Each structure stands twice: as structure tokens, then as C-alpha cells.
A = this chain, B = another copy of it.
């Protein structure tokens, strides 16, 4: 067959770009009219994967079709993700065609059928994921295949490397760069600002990037933001770290392991955690952040991410082994994950706990101080600032003598100035329905309660715990306080509590 008879078409017809103002996370969406001539000519239908091209840039998107007034003739309306990736102006001409077939999907299919993937295959998968070329169907298939036949150590190493390579990688002008991470999170477990202050007070470099909450009532970045600016660009981060040895910045401004955010969203929707993906997720971010020493906090408890000590040990061993492939020295610390940490759950409420510990207030939550000192102690030891076994005591001493508080204030100043965390307008207790002993605290439901009260969007909202496991309570005694900015949110949280009597269980 030849082109002799083929009257080669002119360059494909274009549509006018329109910003739809539609937020769909990483998902790029294009909306075009059902009667659009490009849809007809290209054979595009609703939910087709399309390639948007403009000004030399290309973005893959899912197509939805619309009739009525939603999209005008000749327009292609784009979601925010598509709009930003394509970088067009309102009304600019864009071309729309069928998205090309993705070669890396052949690897996904091979993995489904039980074949292991090599480094090159995983690099190609992660590159396509990072570029937004995988649909939810493709992402879920890859992650499911990696769960059905778990990633082995080599695959985990290769996936980690691919995830690092897909994003930015920071370097620091210091021989020892320390990081920490908590596996799975625990309400109120906001040790990071305290750990950074202690570690940096001893001259170690700890350029900490943290996340904002996605499904939790507060991320470290949300909490820290009530104390100082966290939205630092890389230049500012470098200046703060050069000056103070440490920072507590939001990681979103630097693009470390961007595939991770995409995988995590799908894993959450699937509620499937695979060890290999978890390890690649955690370590790729740490390695990309330029650290060579990391302390990993693994909370264990019935409603924590890791539920048994055996699972924690196995996960810890695998984390250390994979980290070693990248020259990253990891220490895993198994901690109590049976109840929330500290008193506050919610950005500002957690910040108040942090300040109480740093300022040696008499009512500072002892569990938060203890945990922060354990983790800081381990960091001091692996960083060479404390002899083995002496880290914990040194960390506590650094809190007690005010050095950590001084360092924390200096870091906040360097990040843009210290702030006073806000207080909520509405506070109301939830009380014990009967006398007895606290035998169970459901971390997930406590977190949900704090979110219904408004956290993390409402910085001051959340929960403060009035009891811990093992405490004896009398009837009517407060179990926790709800903090909210509006009466409506308070009512929402109260209503949830009334429907869920097992948030805190009392045995008589």
C-alpha cells in the first residue's frame, strides 16, 4: 500500500483551549462536545485516552464528552492538571488525538502473568506513571500485580531507583545528612519538629521535607505551618539549612519521587498495602531528599498500619536491606501504635503539644517527649553525635536545657518568622457513658472525628485527648474535647461520635 493515492491530511484541526477550573488531583481531563468534529474525525469517544498537544508540550488526558452549554463549539475544556501541564493560555490552539499505545503496559501485563520485571522495565513504567500517562485502570493493575506476586528485593530496589530517578534529587554539602520517617502515621505523632530541633542543636544536618495531610487530620507540614512558614523553595531551604543545620519544610515545593503520590492515592483507594511499594515509597523520598542516614519509626498496634511485632520486624529488615543498596543507613524503631500520641490531634493542637515539650512546660505530654527523644537519640547515634546507647539521654538533656527550644525558634525565624498557633472558637467535651477502664482507642475513628471537626483545613480544629489507655474514668468524665471553628462542624463531629460508641471503649 502506498501514499500515492493518499491525500495526506493537513495538520490536524485544532480546538481552542479553555480552562475549566476543575480539580481532579493528578488526573488530566479534557471535555469536548459530543458533536466535536475532532472527536468524529479521530474516532474519540467518552473516556478515550487522548493526547493534547500545544506549543511543543504534550499531555495525556481522559476525554469526557458534553452537550449543552458546558463546552462551546470548537473548544476543549481542560482540568487544572491538564491546564498546568500543557501550559497554554485561554483560547490557545491545541491539537487532540488518540493517545499513543504505551509500551510499558506490556511490562505491566507481563507482571500480571507472573513474570518479574527488570530495572529497565520498571524505569519505563515509572516514567510513564510520572508523566501522567497511566489511567487508574493501569495504575491499579500494576499495583495489584505487585501485591498478588509480591515484589522481591531486587524489584523493590529497582522500583525505588526508578522512583528516585523520576524526580528531583537534592544534594547537601555535608558528610552526614539525617532524616526520619514514621511508617503509616499515628494521630498526634508529631515528633518531627522536636527531633529536628534536637538533632540540629548538635550540629547534624537534617533538611526535613514533610507532607500535608491527605486523609489524616494533620500532616507535619500542616502542623508546622501554624508555627512558621513551610512553603519554602529550594533556595530558601538551603539557606535555612546552611544557617541552622535543619529545616521543617513542605515537600511539595520540591518534586521528590513524584510517582509516589500517584501510587499512594491508588493504594489508598484500593486499601492494599504491599511491602515492596511501601518500602519504595518511603525510601525513594528519603534518598531523593539527599539523606544518607534515616531513622524509621514503626508504630505497631491494632488500628495502626503495622499490626504485629513480627510484621514490624520483617518490614524493618527489608527496609534496612533495600536502603543499604543506596548507601542509606537506616535504623528502625518499633514504637507503641495502640493510641494517639500527645494530647492534640489537628494542626494547631499538635503544635501546642510541640511547644509544651520544647518549652519544658509541666503539663507537656510525656509520651510525645519520650518518643521524640527516642527518635532523636537514634538520629544522634547514627549521625555520630552520640555514643551508641547515649542518644536518648542526650536528646532529653537537649530538651531539658533549652537548647532544642532555642534551635527551634531559630529555625522558625530562618523559615520566615515564628507564629502563634490559633485556638478554636468552639470546644466541647465528649464524656464517658459509664465508669470503667479505657481498654481500646480507635486511632482511625479518632482521626475521623478530628477531620469532621474541621482539621486540617481549619487549623485550630481537632481533638484533644483527656484519657489514655488503662486510665480509670467515672461516668460523665470527659474522654476528649472537640475543637471546631463553627457550630456546624462541631455538630457534625458530635453526631459521628454518637453513632460510633467504639471510638473509645470502656470496660466495667
Contacts and interface: CB of A to CB of B under 8 A. Distances in A.
Interface of A: 1-9, 19-25, 27, 29, 31, 34, 37, 40-43, 46-47, 49, 64-70, 79, 105, 109, 112-114, 135-141, 143-145, 147-149, 265-266, 269-272, 428-433, 448, 451-452, 454, 457, 479, 488-492, 494-495, 497-498, 500-501, 503-504, 506
A66 B21 contact: yes
B430 A6 contact: yes
Contact of A2 (B22, B66, B501): B501
B25 A433 contact: no
A501 B1 CA distance: 5
A67 B272 CA distance: 32
Given A1-B501, A2-B433, A47-B27, A494 B135 contact: no
A1 B433 contact: yes
Candidate in A8, A22, A135 with the most chain B CB atoms within 10 angstroms? A22
A105 B271 contact: yes
Contacts of A457: 40
Given A109-B272, A494-B7, A70 B22 contact: yes
A23 to B, nearest CB: 4
A492 B41 CA distance: 7
A120 to B, nearest CB: 21
Given A1-B497, A112-B272, A140-B140, A67 B21 contact: yes
Given A112-B147, A497-B1, A497-B6, A451 B266 contact: no
A114 B21 contact: no
Contacts of A49: 269
A452 B97 CA distance: 12
Contacts of A67: 21, 23
Contacts of A7: 490-491, 494-495
B20 A66 contact: yes
A266 B137 contact: yes
Nearest to A142: B144
Contacts of A431: 1-2, 4-5
Nearest to A149: B148
A65 B271 CA distance: 23
Given A5-B428, A46-B23, A141 B138 contact: no
Given A430-B6, A431-B4, A272 B141 contact: yes
Given A144-B144, A501-B1, A494 B112 contact: no
A22 B68 CA distance: 9
A136 B136 CA distance: 6
Contact of A64 (B24, B105, B488): B24
Given A4-B431, A23-B46, A47-B25, A492 B9 contact: yes
Given A1-B433, A20-B66, A135-B269, 9 more contacts: A1-B504, A3-B497, A6-B430, A6-B495, A21-B66, A21-B70, A40-B489, A140-B140, A141-B143
Nearest to A450: B43
A49 to B, nearest CB: 8
A112 B7 CA distance: 51
Contacts of A65: 22-23
B70 A498 contact: no
Contacts of A433: 1-2, 4
A41 B1 contact: no
A9 B269 CA distance: 28
